[in-house]
Amino acid sequence: MFITCTVVSFPKKDESVIIVADFNALNYQPVAAMNAPDAPAGPTAAQDLVQADPLEKLVHDRLSGAEADPSALLNPGADAGAAGLSQFAPRPTRTGATFVGVSSSNARKVVYAIDASGSMIAYLQIVVDELARSLSNLSPQQSFGVVFFQGNSAIEVPPAGKLIPATAEEKSRALQWIKANVVPSGGTNPMVAIEKAIALKPDVIFLLSQDITGYGQFEVDQQELLAMLDAKNPRDPQTKRRAVQINCIQFLDSDPLDTMKAIVAEHGGSNGYKFLSRQELGLGAP
């Protein structure tokens, strides 16, 4: 006799997974850091300016520090002797740059155009100290160039015609080169230096001068200077913006022609101008 058994298996009922989307609790954290190396700056980012905090103290007289090594200021542990100028030091920015109290955000390519005429002979060390502080805040993802104007010539920190990666080594090398090669003398005609600065195609130029239009044989007509800037840095027909932002620092003495203010009005936007007077530096009358 045979016995046949049949086993019947009934499948379990499927259990569905419930997905809940809470649209009232969205997370807006960016997928990448704002200062990520591969995040390109927008075409108009360099136009966005902010001004540094107001000055709170006077700067002590640094004229006796002619032998100071500006590259030492790249070291966060620099001696307290430089504290008198610390109020002008750049605040940390993401992909921006700050120079003598004027800042530009999202500037990956930065050029400094600095007066090296004879009138700056007693004060250039102050400016180079500030340059060192500004460079110390640039990241390796940024690049920079430095051009001095003297007489009818431009003195470019090598390599001429190229921007320099903002690494610690390159910053130190540039400052050492300036210390060894730049001696203020003669008059000043900024035209050649400004043209070379614009040709580097930076996002921002920091232009510092005691007397941007000069005097005597090196005197430049204000309207001629403004016309050259307009030709070299024209407005885009569609966006009405200029490729390069030019921030200006009027150094030590006021300019009755207000040429720097006129440059900023056309090329720098709001808050792109600063007058750094003798009184603020604690230098008194010339």
Q: How far apart are CA 116 and CA 197, in angstroms?
A: 15
Q: How far is it, in rounded angstroms, from Cα 210 to Cα 126?
A: 13
Q: Kindly indicate the confidence band of residue 102, based on its pLDDT and cuts at 50, 70 and 90.
A: confident
Give residue 283's pLDDT.
83
Which residues face 112 on adjacent strands? 146, 206
State pLDDT tens for residues 146-191: 999 999 999 999 999 999 999 999 999 999 999 999 999 999 899 9
Look up residue 39 and give its two tokens. 């995040």
Per-residue tokens: 148: 């001095």
Over range 265-286, report the average pLDDT: 85
Report the SS3 class of residue 42. Answer: coil
Q: pTM score, two decimals?
A: 0.70
d(CA 159, CA 172): 14
C-beta of residue 105 within 8 angstroms of C-beta of residue 49: yes
Give the torsion through C-alpha atoms of 46, 160, 167, 96, to 10 deg: -10
Please compute the mean of the pLDDT values over residues 256-282 and round it to a whole number: 91
Bridge partners, 153 (sequence order): 150
Quick one: pLDDT at residue 281? 86
Q: State the pLDDT at residue 147.
A: 98
The pLDDT of 44-63, averaged and rounded, is 40
Other Cβ atoms closer than 10 A to 8 = 4
Q: What is the pLDDT of residues 71-92, one digit of tens each?
A: 666 654 444 443 444 444 444 4
Q: Is the dihedral of CA 184, 186, 188, 191 positive or negative?
A: negative
pLDDT, residue 75, reads: 56
| Predicted local confidence at residue 71, as pLDDT | 66
What are the structural domains, with CATH classification, of the chain? Answer: 47-281 (3.40.50.410)
Cα distances from 183 to residues 20, 116, 255, in angstroms, run 70, 7, 24
pLDDT tens-place string over residues 182-195: 999 999 899 999 99
Mean pLDDT of the region 130-143: 94
Question: What's residue 146's pLDDT?
Answer: 98
Tell me, what's the pLDDT at 61? 44
Which residues, other chains included, contact 35 with Cβ-Cβ below 8 Å and sequence gap of 6+?
94, 95, 139, 141
Contact 60, 281 (CB under 8 A): no
Structure tokens at 267: 């090329």
Distance CA 260, CA 251 (A): 10
User: CA torsion, points 240, 251, 63, 59, in degrees to nearest 10?
Assistant: -90
**Mean local confidence (pLDDT), 49-54:** 39
Read off the pLDDT of residues 211-231 as tens digits, 9 standing for 90 and up.
Answer: 999 888 899 999 999 999 999
Beta bridge partners of residue 248, listed in sequence order? 207, 273
When the pLDDT of each residue in the chain is averaged and rounded to a whole number, the result is 77
Residue 150, φ and ψ in degrees, nearest 5: -155, 125
